[in-house]
Structure 1
Amino acid sequence: MCGIAGLYYPATPKPVEPHRIVQMTDAIAHRGPDGAGVWTAPGVGLGHRRLAIIDLEGGVQPMATPDQGVVVVFNGEIYNFREVRAELEALGARFATDSDTEVLLHGWRAWGPGMLSRLNGMFAFALYDETARSLFLARDRFGVKPLHYAELSDGAVAFASELKGLMAHPLFRRTPDFRAVEDYLGLGYVPDDASLLAGVKKLPAGHFLLLRRGHPVPEPARWWDIDFSKRAAGKPKDLQAELVEHLRVAVRSRMVADVPLGAFLSGGVDSSAVVALMAEASKAAVKTCTIGFDDAGHDETAHAQVVATRFATAHSVRRVAAEDFALIDTLVAAFDEPFADASALPTYRVCELARESVTVALSGDGADEAFAGYRRYKFFAAEERVRGLLPEGFRRSVFGTLGRYYPKADWAPRPFRAKTTLLALAENGEFAYPKAVGVTGPDLRQRLYSSEARRVLGGHRAEQRYVDAMRTAPARDALDRAQYADIQHWLPGDILTKVDRTSMAVGLEAREPLLDHRLVEFAATLPPALRIHGGEGKWLVKKALEPWLPKEILYRPKMGFVTPVSAWFRAALAGEAAALGRSKLLASTGWFDLGVVERLAADHKAGKAEHGRTLWQMLMLERSLARLFG
């Protein structure tokens, strides 16, 4: 795992000073503490920070062909590099190292952009071709590894793994884009098609960008997409067996490393499945780590211990206080842009713990999106059945009216929050679902904004990207469309960003076997009844894993890394919440009605309303703005 950065001049080959590249890579040194390298030529410069995982001696980057005709910097892992290497050797390629990086050099010469479909891995890389005088940027199918780029005032295109790499260049101009604030407040993160810094773009997951000398900067081209429109044939038992084989192959392929390797273990289905299959494949005890909380309502260590005992893992546990908000500034520095998923705090802690004994850790991320594990899928599917039974006009009239007058009960268990359900039923699914995924709803956002901010938005809404994705999804039904939209937006924007930044901040490589593209492509073909059955999400996964895991693990309610931010803003962080309404920094933006912010904090502290997640968003936004523009 590594960090990459560089410069390319599309119009004219201006000289690139190596120290400029060093400045950019130094800013992301945490991503690669084991080494650094720079390569320059007229009109191009490539930089690399290395976390050595494969071929510790030979995998130094930037890496070039012997004739210096192709040069690459690479962040990630190619899990099937030996198979691809054998194919290239059969075509006449001669390899000088045992590194997966070298596969990219020979693969480019053999297949050009077509090599991407042959790669099974997580990656973001930049490859310069001297003959074509082109720079090729590519990102993996799901967006596990990040890549940002921007055009500078001198005509260069700068790129880096993280925003701080771009910001290290003296010509990079820091201008805020308020539309990204709307996206952040609506979704809880700045999505991959937006940036808080105007002019910055993120190469989308499953896309590449080919820059050529003498040509304008083009739009990225999609090279992969998930397809939910097909349906697998076969009996459930046969599909279970096929699923297990996909899981087995995915886990084993990610256990290849020349450094110590382990796994995160939460005690949930996904991480437990990964550990079970690692134990099956490993001669030695699997190293596992778990974070526990001093609040019993959020603690899963007992469940993790059940799995650790069952598979005789070398298990490490560390407990942290529920009031672990001392990490806020650390997280702000790691993420650059505001990020409001508070589970980033325990994720950072478990990465810290893992790094004490391993350099690579396997996680269980991705299965909820692929196999419909989130509770919101179950609720959405039930709502869609109701929508299908009643005419749209009736729903809008009856449910809309009832929803407007029904009292709001944020404090109640979800089944009793009828106001939210009634209002959702009044809308079509593609409008209702993104609100269920989001954090601060459209109505409250409008109250928070100043009149000038609303004018600047010009109708731009965070949820629209979800609406568009669901309408154009290669899908058969509503559940397909919801999962497709989450894979396009939620997965890269929230889940994978969280794991990448927290793991890289401590120099740890995190791998996601449950995002093996063959596994996810198989999952997308499963009939909806095998994804959600009898109200149980990930049904086929759980049935398939019954021989490995006890039912108390498979069928217990999903918890996840829950952080009690609402309680914090009624106690230890109540002062921080109140101060948001008096923030000189927020006032200077002109974006918000701070009187509304102040009332949210007061009502939340008094228990009159539930605004914990919105207050957390505002706090993280203020801290991020101070770091980016202060």
Structure 2
Amino acid sequence: MCGITGIFDTRDRRPVNRALLEAMNLAQFHRGPDEGGVHLEPGLGLAHRRLSIIDLSSGRQPLFNEDGSVAVTYNGEIYNFAELTEELKAAGHRFRTHCDTEVIVHAWEQWGADCVRRFRGMFAFAVWDRNSETLFLARDRLGIKPLYYALLPDGLCLFASELKALMVHPHLPRALDPRGVDDYFAYGYVPEPRTVYQAVRKLPPGHTLTLRRGAPPAEPREYWDVPFTPHAALDEAEAAEELVARLRDAVRIRLVAEVPLGAFLSGGVDSSAVVALMAGLGDAPVNTCAIGFNVPRYDESAFAAQVAEHCHTRHRTRQVDPDDFDLLDRLAGLYDEPFADSSALPTYRVCELARQEVTVALSGDGGDENLAGYRRYRFHAAEERWRGLMPGALRRPLFGALARAYPKADWAPRVLRAKATFQALARDAVEGYFHSVAVVRDEQRNRLYSEAFRRQLDGYHPVSVLRHHAARAPTEDPVSLAQYLDLKTYLPGDILTKVDRASMAHALEVRVPILDHPLVEWISGLPSQMKLRGGEGKYLFKKAMEPYLPHDILYRRKQGFAVPLDQWFRGPLAGRLEETLLGERMGDCGLFNPDTLRHLVEAHTSGRRDYSAPLWSLFMFEAFLRRNEGS
């Protein structure tokens, strides 16, 4: 795995500052500590940091074609590179290495922008074609690998694997994007393509961007989407057998490496399935690792150990203090943008543990989104059934009025919380799903923001992110629509971002077989009843894995990878919370209502309310502001 960065003059051939490009590249040293490379020519600079995985003795980047007219700087793995190499050799291309990187330059020569459709893997890369003076940026279909870019007013295009590399450039505008800030507090991350900065964008998953010198700025172009095309009649037994065969193949092709390889093992269904299939594909024991907590409600290490024993892995567990505060300041530096998924802390620690033994680790990420594992899918489907009993034109005003009239009772037993039920029934499907995933909900965000910041938002609402994707969704099934929205937002913006930054901080490559795109396409075509049935998420997946894993592993209650925020903010972090959120930085930034900040802190620390989610979002935003001031 690697880090890439570059500078391209879209208007002319002004010289690129080598020292500046090298400084941008050095900002991503952690992504590739094995080797660095820089290429300069008039109007262009490409740079690369390398973590050697395949063809350790060659494959240095930027890498060129035979005559030096096409160059690539690349981050990722193309798992079908051997087959593509043979096809390209048959077409007359000559190869000098045995790595997947060289496939990209020859694939560009052979197929142009359509080359990305031929790649099976995870990638973010930039191809420079000197003959046509074209810079081609591409990101993999699911967004496993990141790619940021900025088009500056003077015509320069900057790009990099991480935002911190772009921030090295002295002419990059630092103004915050009010919509990006609102998105962050709504979702806990900033969804693609927006970032927290007005001047910077993320290239969305499954998109490319083609920039030609002298041509008007282009827009990203989509080359792939999750199809949700229904399969022909397929019974449950056939579907289960094919699911295992396809996942086994996805695991198999991810075992190619010339460095030590292992897997994360949480004891959940997804990572356990990956480990079970890995164990069946080789003779040597699989290297697995897990994190344990000394607080029972957060600890899954016993389940991981059970799977390790069942699969005869070489297993290691590291007990982590739940009061692991050393990482709090470091997280802001890892993620560059504000990022409010608290499971980033244990994710960092499990990556640290894995890197002690291996350079490549397989994970089970993507299973919940693909196979309907989140409980919120069940709730969303139930709400949609109720909404379907009454036309929207009647339902919205009726239940909206009831919601306004009924008192708020978050403190009461769920059966008495009719206000929340009325509010849910008044919403449409997308509003309802947004409400289920929002970290800081509408009323709370409205009270949180200052009047001046609300004016800057000018009526913007983060639900528009989901509406944009829902309008293009290839499915109307309620469960499938919720999955589609997560595959477009939560998966790349939160889950994959969290794992990429935490793993690359330790120069660890993480491969995600459940996000093998042919597998994702096939799973999307299964009827939602095979994914969610009778309140059981991942129904078919669990049935399919019954011959491979213990029953109590497959059917235990989903636990998640959490940390005790509510306890932290009432105990060891209470003083720091008050100092941080009620201090000068949060007051002077002009974004927040100080009375609301004080209420959140006092109500939570006194035990009257659980505001741990919005407080953590604010806590991490302050850490971002502090770091941003020094950048």
Do they superpose with TM above 0.5? Answer: yes
Residue aligned with 2:370, SS:
helix
Q: Distance in 1 between matches of 2:542 and 2:232?
A: 18
Q: Matched residue of 1:284: which SS?
A: coil
Say which SS state the counterpart of residue 208 (structure 2) adopts.
Answer: strand
Correspondence for 1:628: 628
Give the structure 2 partner of residue 474 of structure 1. 474
SS of residue matched to 1:127: strand
Match of 1:158 in 2: 158
Matched with 1:78 is 78
8 Å CA contact retained: 2:230, 2:527: no
2:574 matched to which residue of 1? 574
Counterpart position of 2:357? 357
Shift of 1:155: 2.2
- Whole-Å separation in 2 of the counterparts to 1:283 and 1:529: 37
1:311 maps to a residue whose letter is C
Conserved? CA contact 1:377–1:482, under 8 Å? yes
Q: Distance in 2 between matches of 1:414 and 1:327?
A: 36
| Per-residue CA distance 1:102-144 (angstroms, 9 max, x = gap) | 0001100010111111100000000100111110000000111
Task: Say if 1:232 and 1:525, in contact at 8 Å, map to a contact too.
Answer: no
Deviation at 1:426, TM superposition (A): 1.9
State the 1:435 CA deviation: 1.4
CA deviation digits over 1:571-590, x for unaligned, max 9? Answer: 11112232244221122221
Q: Which residue of 2 aligns with 1:328?
A: 328
* Partner of residue 136, structure 1: 136
Moved more, 407-416 or 90-99: 407-416
Counterpart residue identity of residue 101, structure 1: T
Q: Is the 8 A contact 1:174 1:629 kept in 2?
A: no
| SS across alignment from 1:501 | helix
- Does the 8 A contact of 1:29 with 1:49 survive in 2? yes
Instruction: Using the TM superposition, give the Cα deviation of residue 283 of structure 1 relative to its aligned residue in structure 2, in angstroms.
Output: 1.5
TM score, norm. by length of structure 2? 0.97
Q: How far did 1:417 drift?
A: 5.5
1:232 Cα deviation from its structure 2 partner: 4.3
Q: Which SS does the other structure have where 1:389 is aligned?
A: coil
Q: Which residue of 1 aligns with 2:257?
A: 257
Deviation of the 1:415 alpha carbon:
7.4
How much has 1:86 moved relative to structure 2? 1.2
Residue 174 of structure 2 corresponds to 174
Match of 2:243 in 1: 243
Aligned equivalents of 2:19, 2:624: Cα separation in 1: 27
Aligned partner of 1:489 in structure 2 is: 489
The alignment partner of 1:468 has SS state of helix
CA deviations on 1:336-361 (whole Å, 9 max, x unpaired) are 00100000000000000000000000
Structure 1 residue 154, shift from structure 2 partner:
3.6
Which whole-Å CA distance do the structure 2 matches of 1:109 and 1:558 have between them? 48
Amino acid at match of 2:17: E
Residue of structure 2 in register with 1:278 after alignment: 278
User: How many residue pairs align between the two structures?
Assistant: 630
Judged with a 3 Å threshold, the aligned counterparts in structure 2 of structure 1 residues 239 and 416 are, in CA distance, closer, same or farther, namely farther
| Structure-2 separation of matches of 1:375 and 1:538 | 11
Q: Retained in 2: the 8 A contact 1:452–1:591?
A: yes
Does the residue aligned with 1:562 lie in a helix, a strand or coil? coil
User: 171-180 or 18-27: which moved more?
Assistant: 171-180
1:219-238 equivalences in 2 (<5 Å): 219-238=219-238
Q: Which residue of 1 aligns with 2:107?
A: 107
SS of corresponding position for 2:315:
strand
Report deviation, 1:234.
1.1
What whole-Å deviation, never above 9, does each CA across 1:533-589 have from its counterpart, x for those lacking one? 111011110110000011101111111101111121111111223224422112222
Indicate the residue corresponding to 1:499 in structure 2: 499
- Asked if 1:434 is matched to 2:429, the reply is no
Cα distance in structure 1, aligned partners of 2:15 and 2:470? 46
Structure 1 residue aligned with 2:312: 312
**Structure 1 position 257, deviation (Å):** 0.6
Counterpart AA for 1:528 = S
> For the structure 1 residues 606 and 395, does the alpha-carbon distance in structure 2 shift closer, same or farther, using more than 3 Å as the test?
farther
Q: Please list every run of 5 or more consecutive structure 2 residues that lacks an aligned counterpart in the other structure.
A: none
Letter in 1 for 2:350: V
Distance 1:125 1:414 in 2: 49
The 8 Å contact of residues 580 and 618 in structure 1, kept in 2 or not, is answered as no
2:147 matched to which residue of 1? 147
Cα distance change of structure 1 residues 325 and 402 upon mapping to structure 2, 3 Å threshold: farther
Is the partner of 1:327 in helix, strand or coil? helix
Structure 2: distance between partners of 1:624 and 1:245: 44
Residue 589 of structure 1: aligned partner: 589
- The answer to whether the aligner puts 1:461 opposite 2:467 as a matched pair is no
Measure the CA separation in 1 of the matches of 2:529 and 2:577: 44
Asked whether the equivalents of residues 232 and 527 of structure 1 are also in contact (C-alpha less than 8 Å), the reply is no
Give the RMSD, CA atoms, in angstroms: 1.5
Offset at residue 532 of structure 1 (A): 0.5
Query: Cα gap change, 1:414/1:203 in structure 2, threshold over 3 Å: closer, same or farther?
Result: farther
- For the pair 1:28 / 2:67, whether they are aligned, the reply is no
- 1:484-534 CA-to-partner distances (Å, cap 9, x unmatched) read 111111111000000000001111001110000111111111111101011
Q: Are residues 306 and 454 of structure 1, via their aligned partners in 2, closer, same or farther at CA, if it must alter by over 3 Å? A: same
Structure 2 CA distance for partners of 1:58 and 1:411, relative to 1, 3 Å: farther
- Cα deviations across residues 272-312 of structure 1 (Å, max 9, x unaligned)? 00000000012110000000001011100110011000111
- The one-letter code matched in structure 1 to 2:128 is Y
The 3-state SS of whatever aligns with 2:256 is coil
Partner of 2:302: 302
Q: TM-score w.r.t. structure 1 length? A: 0.98
**Which residue identity does 2:182 align to in structure 1?**
E
AA at the equivalent of 2:436: A
Instruction: Give the superposition deviation at 1:74.
Output: 0.3
- Say yes or no: does 1:526 pair with 2:505: no
SS in 2 for 1:569: helix
Write the distance in 2 (CA, Å) between the matches of 1:410 and 1:351. 38
Percent identity of paired positions between Structure 1 and Structure 2: 52
Shift of 1:228: 1.8
Per-residue deviation, residues 393-423 of structure 1 (Å, max 9, x unmatched) = 5533554345445555556787775543332
Q: Distance in 2 between matches of 1:98 and 1:57?
A: 10
Q: Which moved more, 1:129-138 or 1:585-594?
A: 585-594
User: SS where residue 609 of structure 2 aligns?
Assistant: coil
Corresponding residue SS for 2:536? coil
Aligned-pair CA distance for 1:448: 0.7
Q: Secondary structure at the match of 1:472?
A: coil
Q: What is the alpha-carbon distance in structure 1 between the residues aligned to residue 544 and residue 252 of structure 2?
A: 18
In structure 1, give the amino acid aligned to 2:43. G
Deviations 1:304-326 (A, max 9, x none): 01100011100000011111132
* Structure 2 partner of 1:423: 423
- Greater alpha carbon shift after TM alignment, 120-129 vs 471-480: 471-480
Q: CA deviation at 1:36?
A: 0.2
Q: What is residue 66 of structure 2 aligned with on the other side?
A: 66
Contact kept? 1:470, 1:481, Cα under 8 Å? yes
